[in-house]
Amino acid sequence: MAAKDVPLKDYRNIGIIAHIDAGKTTTTEGILYRTGINHKIGLVKGDDPAGATTDWMAQEKERGITITSAAVTAFWKGHKINIIDTPGHIDFTAEVERSLRVLDGAVTVFDGKMGVEAQTETVWRQANKYGVPRICFINKINQIGGDFWKSLESIHNRLSKQAFPVHIPIGFEKDINGVVDLIDMKAYTYTDYADKELIPGEIPADMLEKAKHARSLLVENAVEADDELMMKFLDEGEDAITTEELKAALRSRVLAGDFFLVTGGDGRGVIVEKVLDLVADFLPSPLDIEAAQGKNPKTGNVEERKSDVSEPLAALAFKIATDPFVGKLIFIRVYSGTLKAGSYVLNTTTGNKERVGRIVRMHADKREDIDEIKAGDIAAVVGLKDTFTGATLADPAHPIQLEGIEFQEPPVSIAVEPKTKADQEKMGIALQRLAEEDPTFRVHTDEETGQTIMSGMGELHLDILIDRMKREFNVEANVGEPQVAYRETIRGVAEAQGKHAKQSGGRGQYGDVWIRFEPLPEDSAETFEFVDEIKGGVVPQEYRPAVQKGIRDTLTGGVIAGYPMINVKATLYDGSYHDVDSSELAFNLAGVLAVKEGIPKAKPVLLEPVMKVEVSTPEEFMGDVIGDLNARRGRIDAMEDIPGGAKLVRGFVPLASMFGYTNDIRSMSQGRAASTMELAQYEEVPPNVAQEVIEKRSK
């Protein structure tokens, strides 16, 4: 079916999300094979030289992991499905975050041998944040240790009690050969996972009672959202509910975002056809989601854009990729209106007009030129020079600014320097391009040492970026040891005067302010807040922004060890000025002096990033793992059993103690334990450790 023949109600914009190694990319490959896009299933690792379709970067093929979100368009039973296969490694969480921002639904993939894992919880929270309805696919239940029911139990314990099987597996581990569909109460079986199609038939006699019980539970919970259906269920019983009524009730519950249908099987096999059916039947179309909201940059009023081609254009750029053949690709989701190739659009984030060169539909790294992209669709645009992640593109006559995408500050840094003079210029271009693509990657120059500092979400993240610099931009570089991105803050309240007064012939300089410094609440969304409490005109209005800028700029250098200060509230409450000698510069310098005078009195402390760490380990290594985490200044939060007879240890450990941990844990457990970590929060550094950090910094 051609794309133009598909009505908007049959579009599905979905993400495949999960923990690393749960089988997201393999499931996506299975979907592409079953929808006719691929003639065979690409393998993520192993003997397949082509590799997986959506893992097209060299590093992805080598490491067997997904790094960037790949976009693919497929068709299934009259539905057009835009699929984004997102990364599972914790260092690339931002890729998941920005994909979920523009998706309407998601398939959450679980490793049937492990159940819910650390990154599963993270992506689940992200999906909750953006209100993305999900279906659950428990993968690998056909492998040794795979267990559908234990994995379902871990979903109930760690994610949601509102998760209900819609299919239950026939068989166990290697003997699995299909599912019972609880909606139409039929068995769908296969003789080999690579079969061309599922064979419908009767439910095996030994499963009939279990299937009836599971269906009753499903029906009972489905009708809760519909009063009329609930009364019919109570008055006439489960058999009175028709298949159509049940499907409509289930869809209504799934779309609410807090009810999850669960299926399971082998992501490589014919069973993914049942996953595709669930996507088509139960996940939302662009018409099912709420109208996009944004601010009119001219009036400041909140406006809506419905998913309709007759509305003015509103689109969000959610990803930047550098293509070796066409240059910068901007992936966009169009919420309303139509975006045409060759047209001019307004980037309301920058205020600049830009021309759309080409529009391409992406099939991972392959491209198909199209003339336009309409409301509800996802594609990539070539030719936009000043558009970055989170930018809104709008009709110049009807501007709107959609909500952007917020990203965490990266906690790990390394110093990098070019090996030769020739590498120097190339490195600058490479770093700029990589920073454009990846909003969690930051680059700055250390003013004291002159070194270029790269900051990212973890060691793997930075390792991949260095590797990409070498391969894609031919830059050879020397790389320093990973460094922790410490922060500073204050625990007390202090008031200070900042007075800048100079008179040396001619016009002088005069700025005088009194500032009160105090901590912001730890859960504050802002890292710095400036409050203006000036009564009357003791500090004229036009000089107050200069005071704010002087304070903000000085706080970026800290007072203890030169690290940026966070969670500081600065209140300007008094001051004085001179009719002739006062200026913006003088008041800026007064703000600087107030910081230097006041912050040291406000009980400044050093903060360090603390990581949420999860380690899965065979029981015999449990004592070593816990002892090692304690030695790294860790706090053990919980220990529990997980499928496969292993143990899960959860805790919080300072990032400074965790460099090289992946290799250490392998050595400690004969290669059988695995770990993940993500930034949890910043905490105060113990005095003895703080002293070491300060001394090291001052050298």
Strand duo 134-139 + 260-265: pairing? parallel
- Alpha helix (H) ranges present in 599-679? 622-631, 661-668
Contacts for 502 with CB less than 8 Å, ≥ 6 apart: 508, 509, 510
For residue 412, the surrounding DSSP H or E stretch is strand 412-418
Q: What is the pLDDT of residue 57?
A: 40
CB contact at 8 A, 408 and 441: no
CA pseudo-torsion sign 578, 581, 584, 587: negative
Q: Report residue 503: phi and psi, to 5°.
A: -135, 110
Position 342 pLDDT exceeds 80: yes
- In the chain, what is the straight-line distance between the N-terminal and C-terminal CA atoms, in Å? 67
Q: Report residue 471: phi and psi, to 5°.
A: -75, -50
Collapsed DSSP state (helix, strand, coil) of residue 487: strand
Please tell me which residue, 417 or 366, carries the higher pLDDT value.
Answer: 417
Residue type for 230, please?
Answer: M
Look at the chain and count its residues: 699
From its phi and psi, is residue 145 left (phi > 0), alpha (psi between -120 and 50) or beta? left
Mean pLDDT of 466-472: 84
Instruction: Read off the tokens for 630.
Output: 């304690």
Mean pLDDT of 404-426: 81
Q: What is the pLDDT of residue 479?
A: 87
Q: Using alpha carbons, list the distances in angstroms from residue 32 to 27, 133, 199.
A: 9, 22, 20
Q: What is the pLDDT of residue 55?
A: 38
Strand duo 604-618 + 674-684: pairing? antiparallel
Position 278 pLDDT exceeds 90: yes
CA atoms within 13 A of residue 437's CA, in its CB half-sphere: 20
Q: What is the pLDDT of residue 86?
A: 64
Mean pLDDT of 313-325: 79
- Alpha helix (H) ranges present in 132-226? 148-158, 208-222
Position 253 pLDDT exceeds 60: yes
Distance CA 351, CA 331 (A): 19
DSSP state, 75? Answer: E
Distance CA 188, CA 211 (A): 13
Contacts for 358 with CB less than 8 Å, ≥ 6 apart: 326, 341, 369, 381, 382, 383
CA pseudo-torsion sign 553, 451, 683, 673: positive
Please tell me which residue, 543 or 117, carries the higher pLDDT value.
Answer: 543
Distance CA 437, CA 321 (A): 6
Please tell me which residue, 319 or 44, carries the higher pLDDT value.
Answer: 319
Strand spans (E) along 19-158: 70-76, 79-85, 105-111, 134-139
Angle of helix 243-255 versus helix 272-282 axis, rounded to 10: 80
pTM: 0.69
Mean pLDDT, the chain, integer:
84
For residue 695, the surrounding DSSP H or E stretch is helix 687-698
Strand duo 178-181 + 167-169: pairing? antiparallel
* Long-range contact pairs involving 353-357 (C-beta distance under 8 Å, separation at least 24): 353/396, 354/383, 354/384, 354/385, 354/386, 354/387, 354/393, 355/383, 356/381, 356/383, 356/384, 357/381, 357/382, 357/383, 357/384
Model confidence pLDDT, tens digit, residues 629-687: 999 999 999 888 876 667 889 999 999 898 888 788 888 888 778 787 778 889 999 99
Please tell me which residue, 316 or 166, carries the higher pLDDT value.
Answer: 166
Q: What is the pLDDT of residue 314?
A: 93
Q: Give the torsion through C-alpha atoms of 439, 289, 343, 317, to 10 deg.
A: 0
Please tell me which residue, 3 or 673, carries the higher pLDDT value.
Answer: 673
Task: Please work out, in degrees rounded to the nearest 5, the angle formed at the alpha carbon of residue 236 by the alpha carbons of 235 and 237.
Answer: 105
Position 410 pLDDT exceeds 60: yes
Q: What is the pLDDT of residue 457?
A: 78
Position 529 pLDDT exceeds 50: yes
At 555, the pLDDT band (50, 70, 90 cuts) reads very high
Chain position carrying tokens 């009564």: 535
Instruction: Read off the tokens for 400.
Output: 């709107």
Q: Which of 497, 698, 504, 523 is CA-nearest to residue 606?
A: 698
Please tell me which residue, 638 or 319, carries the higher pLDDT value.
Answer: 638
Task: Please work out, in degrees rounded to the nearest 5, the angle formed at the alpha carbon of residue 351 by the alpha carbons of 350 and 357.
Answer: 80
CB contact at 8 A, 160 and 167: no
Instruction: Read off the tokens for 246.
Output: 């049940």
Instruction: Read off the tokens for 235.
Output: 């008055």
* Long-range contact pairs involving 463-468 (C-beta distance under 8 Å, separation at least 24): 464/59, 464/67, 465/434, 465/438, 465/441, 466/416, 467/59, 468/57, 468/59, 468/430, 468/434
Count the neighbouring beta carbons within 10 Å of the beta carbon of residue 370.
15
Please tell me which residue, 91 or 459, carries the higher pLDDT value.
Answer: 459
CB contact at 8 A, 67 and 92: yes
Distance CA 463, CA 89 (A): 13
Instruction: Read off the tokens for 272.
Output: 């993914």
Instruction: Read off the tokens for 687.
Output: 């005095």
Of 409-423, 434-448, 484-498, which gets the smallest average pLDDT?
434-448
Position 365 pLDDT exceeds 60: no
- The per-type count for the chain, helices as H runs and strands as E runs, is 16, 38
Residue type for 568, please?
Answer: V
Q: What is the pLDDT of residue 70?
A: 52
Chain position carrying tokens 């835009």: 82
Model confidence pLDDT, tens digit, residues 12-65: 999 888 876 777 777 877 887 787 765 444 444 333 434 444 433 444 344 333
Task: Please work out, in degrees rounded to the nearest 5, the angle formed at the alpha carbon of residue 540 by the alpha carbons of 534 and 541.
Answer: 80
Model confidence pLDDT, tens digit, residues 575-611: 999 988 899 999 999 999 999 999 999 999 999 999 8
CA pseudo-torsion sign 47, 48, 53, 57: positive
Q: Which of 86, 70, 87, 29 is CA-nearest to residue 364?
A: 70
Please tell me which residue, 88 or 542, carries the higher pLDDT value.
Answer: 542
Q: What is the pLDDT of residue 39?
A: 43
Contacts for 207 with CB less than 8 Å, ≥ 6 apart: 168, 170, 180, 187
DSSP state, 565? Answer: B
For residue 105, the surrounding DSSP H or E stretch is strand 105-111
Strand duo 494-502 + 509-519: pairing? antiparallel
At 102, the pLDDT band (50, 70, 90 cuts) reads confident
Distance CA 387, CA 349 (A): 8
Q: Which of 194, 190, 199 is CA-nearest to residue 39?
A: 194
Model confidence pLDDT, tens digit, residues 163-186: 999 999 999 888 888 999 999 999
Please tell me which residue, 595 or 266, carries the higher pLDDT value.
Answer: 595
Position 376 pLDDT exceeds 80: yes
Please tell me which residue, 87 or 493, carries the higher pLDDT value.
Answer: 493
Count the neighbouring beta carbons within 10 Å of the beta carbon of residue 627.
11
Q: What is the pLDDT of residue 186?
A: 94
Mean pLDDT of 361-382: 80
Instruction: Read off the tokens for 161.
Output: 């009690």
Of 174-188, 264-278, 324-338, 566-580, which gets the smallest average pLDDT?
324-338
